[in-house]
Structure 1
Amino acid sequence: MLEELKQQVLEANLALPRHGLVVFTWGNVSAVDREQGLVVIKPSGVSYEAMKRDDMVVVDLESGEVREGNMRPSSDTDTHRA
């Protein structure tokens, strides 16, 4: 589900530490597929160096329910859904 969007979110998140925009795991990028009503966001607490595309979490835009992924979504997910 949303493999291309997951890859884009992964690449954007990996760029954050390269540009000095985050400390530890604090900060993330998400992307929204409005047609499907879904958000792709990085998992909570996973180091940028260890992240892979399949670690990205797919969340329902309206309910916040995890639709796909084995990890907890970012603690900032509600902000990204707003």
Structure 2
Amino acid sequence: MKQYEALRKEAYEANMQLPALGLVLFTFGNVSAADHAAKVFAIKPSGVPYNELTPEKMVIVDFDGNTIDGKLRPSSDTKTHAVLYKNWPEVGGICHTHSTFATSWAQALRDIPLY
């Protein structure tokens, strides 16, 4: 567990920004943080409310999508994160939200203006 402590903490702190900034509701969304040297990433566990999340609950997964360390099931988005990290080494973190603002915009079928 100590081996991945810093990576877990980094992913946890980023995940906690999502509800603080109003970008997610309930248990939706996640953030992962990668360690390309070790070919692993830390990701939010599936179905865990943000107010119950701790660094220790973050799941460590390899770039093939296999759970390496953690007692909980990783996010249902884990395979997507794994593919991105495996194929783009410059990517150090991934954020997936269900922002009510973005969802509302999409439901309104409005174009996103380009500037």
TM-score normalised by length of structure 2: 0.68
**For residues 23-57 of structure 1, what are the alpha-carbon distances to aligned partners after superposition, in whole Å with 9 as ceiling and x for unaligned?**
21110100111111101101000000001111000
* Structure with more helix by fraction: 2
Q: Percent identity?
A: 48
Secondary structure, counterpart of 1:74 in structure 2: coil
* Unmatched tracts of structure 2, length 5 or more: 84-115
Q: 4+ residue stretches of structure 1 with deviation over 4 A?
A: none
Aligned to 1:80: 81
Q: Is the 8 A contact 2:7 2:41 kept in 1?
A: no
Aligned residue pair count: 81
Q: Given the two structures, how large is their TM-score scaled by the length of structure 1? A: 0.94
Larger Rg: 2
Q: Which residue of 20, 27, 33 maps to 1:31?
A: 33
Does the residue aligned with 1:14 lie in a helix, a strand or coil? helix
Superposition RMSD in Å: 0.8
Q: Distance in 2 between matches of 1:46 and 1:76?
A: 14
